[in-house]
Amino acid sequence: MTVTLRTDAGGDRDLRSLLFAQHVQLAQHLARRFAGRGEPLEDLTQVAMIGLLKAADRFDESRGVAFTSYATPTILGELKRHFRDTTWAVRVSRALKELAIRVPRATEDLTHALRRTPTRAEIAGYMGVSTGEVYAAQRCGSAYRLQSLDQPISQAGESPFGVLLGASDRGYAAVEARETLRDVVTALPERDRRLLHLRYVEGRTQTEMAAELGVSQMQISRLLAQIMNRMRSAIEPGDEPRR
């Protein structure tokens, strides 16, 4: 389906919703790549959806870049930032999410009863938790707002986002791999891109490359290994580059 930008505010909202709806499976696919690293797939999928929402919100079609090319690194970046979070945040994330839901309700109850905004200590006493837990929950709640799966995909539509979470599409694997690899290669220094071109596009042997560049075959081998390690560390989360 071809998406055409509309300039009015309502059109922008509809476009963002449509971009999100069309690429939910891409976000799910990227989330599955990070599975098996100690985080529940459900949490990873939510993080990927946040990245997709950010991509849809910031996308500018006038730049001539396909949305998939823009969204893929945005979602991957969101997932990698999730893994770079502090260990304590990862371990208590479920408890914080539950507390973040309860704190606003308690705040509302106390505001009604006291006829003023309650202090953090008053909220903690009302809930039977520490002020530190209330503080953490408030920060979690303000920084981790997710799009409701029951919310319609647009003001004109009736279908909720949740119905879009269907079976995976294997075609996204090839698209995502191609787009991610292109982004990683583009970010490499010119020398590294030239070495990759000689080796994998022109099909030169390491000996031929060494002769053309005036270095030893061992140096070419070492340089290619370093390039591969840098590319791998850019693509795979949590891996340290090999020396």
- Going from the C-alpha of 203 to that of each of 63, 71, 207, the distances in angstroms are 34, 32, 12
The DSSP 8-state label assigned to residue 150 in this structure reads T
Give the residue among 186, 240, 235 at the shortest CA–CA distance from 80: 235
Reply yes or no on whether the pLDDT at 7 is more than 70: no
Kindly give, in sequence order, each residue whose CB lies less than 8 Å from that of residue 170, ignoring residues fewer than 6 positions away.
Answer: none
Chain center to CA of 164: 18
To the nearest whole number, what is the mean pLDDT of the chain?
73
CATH class of the domain defined by 9-84: mainly alpha
Which CATH fold would you assign to the domain 90-143? Answer: Arc Repressor Mutant, subunit A (1.10.10)
What pLDDT, in 10s, does the model give residues 67-101?
Answer: 888 889 989 888 888 776 533 444 445 677 778 88
CATH class of the domain defined by 188-243: mainly alpha
Helix (H, G, I), strand (E, B) or coil at 241: coil
Structure tokens at 164: 């879009």
Of 234 and 19, more confident: 19
Give the residue among 35, 118, 116, 20 at the shortest CA–CA distance from 82: 35
Length of the chain, in residues: 243
Verdict on whether the full-model pTM lies above 0.75? no
Are both 9-84 and 90-143 of the same fold? no
Of 166 and 86, more confident: 166
Kindly give, in sequence order, each residue whose CB lies less than 8 Å from that of residue 137, ignoring residues fewer than 6 positions away.
Answer: 96, 99, 100, 102, 103
Instruction: Tell the residue number behind the tokens 């919703």, with chain if given.
Output: 17
Chain center to CA of 211: 43
> Average pLDDT of 197-214?
86
The DSSP 8-state label assigned to residue 61 in this structure reads G
> Average pLDDT of 129-137?
82
Residue-range domain boundaries for the chain:
9-84, 90-143, 188-243
Confidence of residue 197 (pLDDT cuts 50, 70, 90): confident
